[in-house]
Structure 1
C-alpha cells in the first residue's frame, strides 16, 4: 500500500458507504477495525497481501485452531478488499484456496424446554430483584419471539404495546422496522415486568423497556455485552451439554427456539405439516424445545404459538 496508515480511514469510509445503503455491519465493522489495528501494529511495506490477511485470520480472541473459523474470518475481509482495490490497486483479495470454504453457518444449540425453564429460574434469582426479573423476562422474550439480542435491548416503552401485544422493532436489517405479535402468555410476562420496573425508575416514552438496575446503568438500556456476560455466567452455573457446533451455547441461540422443533399438542408427535391445515392458533398450543429431529421445522407465522412455553412456566411462578 502506498499509505498503510490510511487503512483505518478506509475502513471508516467503507462502513459509512455501506451503512448508507441500509447495511448495519456490526460484526463486519468489528472485524475490519480489528484488522486495521493489526496492520497498524505491523506497519507492512507494500500492498496488503493474502498472507498477511491469513495471519490475522488465525489470531482470533478464542485462539481457534479450526481452519473453518479462520476461513470465516478471511471471508469477512473479501468484500472490503475488493472495494479497497479502487484506491490501492495492488491489494490482494483472499479466496477459498487458503483455508478452504467457510461453509454454512454453524448449527446453533437448540434449547430443550427444561433448559429454558432452568435458565429463566436461574435468571430470576439474580440480585437485586429488578435485575433478576429483567433477565428472566429478556431471555424468555428472545426464546419466545426470535428477536435478536440487539433488537430486544433496543426496545423502548413506546415500542412495547401492552394492550395489543405488539412489539415494534426499530432499525432492523436494512434500516427497516417491523412488528412482532406476542403470545398472550408472553404479554403477561411483559406486563408483570413493567409493574415491577416502573416504580423504580424515571419514565418517559423513550425509556428503554429493559433497563439496568445497578451503578451508572441503573435505568439505562442494557448493552449486548452485558447480556452476553450474564448469560455466560448462568451457562456455567447450569452446565448444559452443548448440542450446537459453536464452542458453547450462546444467548443468540435462544432466538432459534422460536422456529425450530415446533410440535403441536393437538396432533400426534411426528405428524405431517399438512395435518396442521385448518387449525387455529388456539388449537396449536405447545412448543417443545430441542426437538430438532421433528419434521415440523419452520416458523408457524401468525399461529399464536410464540411464547407458549410460558403458559406452564408462568403459572408456576405467578400467584
Structure 2
C-alpha cells in the first residue's frame, strides 16, 4: 500500500482486515467512509494528520463535542493501521475533544414509583399470566436487594440448597 493511496482504498483494506478478525464495524465503517469523502472534498492529499482528523470530527451537523469525540474514537484505530504503511501518519489523541462516552446519572426509584411499577406488572398481557408475575417478582427482588437486572435474572439454585 503506497503512502499516496486514497483514504477510501486504505479504509476498504482496513475494514477487510478487521472483519476477517470477527469485527462487524457497520457504524465505524460508515463513519470512516464519511471521513474519506470529507478528505476528498477538502482536497487533502497525503498522510492522515491530527489537523485533518480534528477538522472532520468537528464538521458534523450537530456540532457537539461528544460527536466529535466519538468520531476521533473511530478514527484512532484506523490511524494506527495506516501508520504501519506510512510512518508519518499522526494518531489523534484519545481525548482531543474530551471523553467519547459519559455515564448517565442513575435514577433512584422512590417507594411510590416502585409500588406503581409492581402494580403495573399486574396489567401485563395475558391477564393473570406468568409474565406479570415474573416481572413483579424480578422487579420486587431488585428493589428489595439492590441487585442489577443481570444479577437477578442470572440467579440459580445452588446444589447444596436444593431439598430432596
Pair in the same fold by TM > 0.5: yes
Kindly state the Cα deviation for residue 21 of structure 1 after the two structures are TM-superposed: 1.0
Q: Given the superposition, is the C-alpha separation of residues 7 and 271 from structure 1 closer, same or farther in structure 2, using an over 3 Å criterion?
A: same
Asked if 1:73 corresponds to 2:71, the answer is yes
Count of residue pairs brought into register by the alignment: 131
1:153-211 CA distance string (max 9 Å, x none): xxxxxxxxxxxxxxxxxxxxxxxxxxxxxxx75xxxxxxxxxxxxxxxxxxxxxxxxxx
**Structure 2 partner of 1:3:** 4
Of structures 1 and 2, the larger Rg is shown by 2
For 1:29, the equivalent position in structure 2 comes to 29
- Helix, strand or coil for the counterpart of 2:144? coil
Structure 1 residue runs without a partner (length 5+):
118-183, 186-257, 273-294, 304-319
* Cross-structure match for 1:178: none
SS at match of 2:17: helix
Question: What is the TM-score with the length of structure 2 in the denominator?
Answer: 0.65
How far residue 2 of structure 1 moved from its aligned partner, in angstroms, is 4.0
The match for 2:139 is 263
Instruction: Give, in whole Å, the separation in 2 of the partners of 1:46 and 1:29.
Output: 21
Query: Does the 8 A contact of 1:71 with 1:100 survive in 2?
Result: yes
Q: 1:97 to 1:20 in 2, by over 3 A?
A: closer
Give the TM-score normalised by structure 1.
Answer: 0.35
Task: Write the distance in 1 (CA, Å) between the matches of 2:7 and 2:15.
Answer: 12
Match of 2:153 in 1: 301
Q: 1:14 to 1:60 in 2, by over 3 A?
A: same
How far apart are the structure 1 equivalents of 2:29 and 2:53?
Answer: 16
- Output the CA distance in 1 between the equivalents of 2:17 and 2:3: 22
Which whole-Å CA distance do the structure 2 matches of 1:35 and 1:46 have between them? 14
- Structure 2 segments unaligned to the other structure (5+ residues): 108-112, 121-129, 156-164
Contact 1:263 1:296 in 2 (8 A): no
Structure with greater helix share of residues: 2
Maintained 8 Å contact 2:4/2:45:
no
Cα distance in 2 for partners of 1:58, 1:72 equals: 10
For the aligned residues, what is the CA RMSD? 3.4
Q: Which residue of 2 aligns with 1:64?
A: 63
State the alpha-carbon separation in 1 of the partners of residues 18 and 86 from structure 2: 19
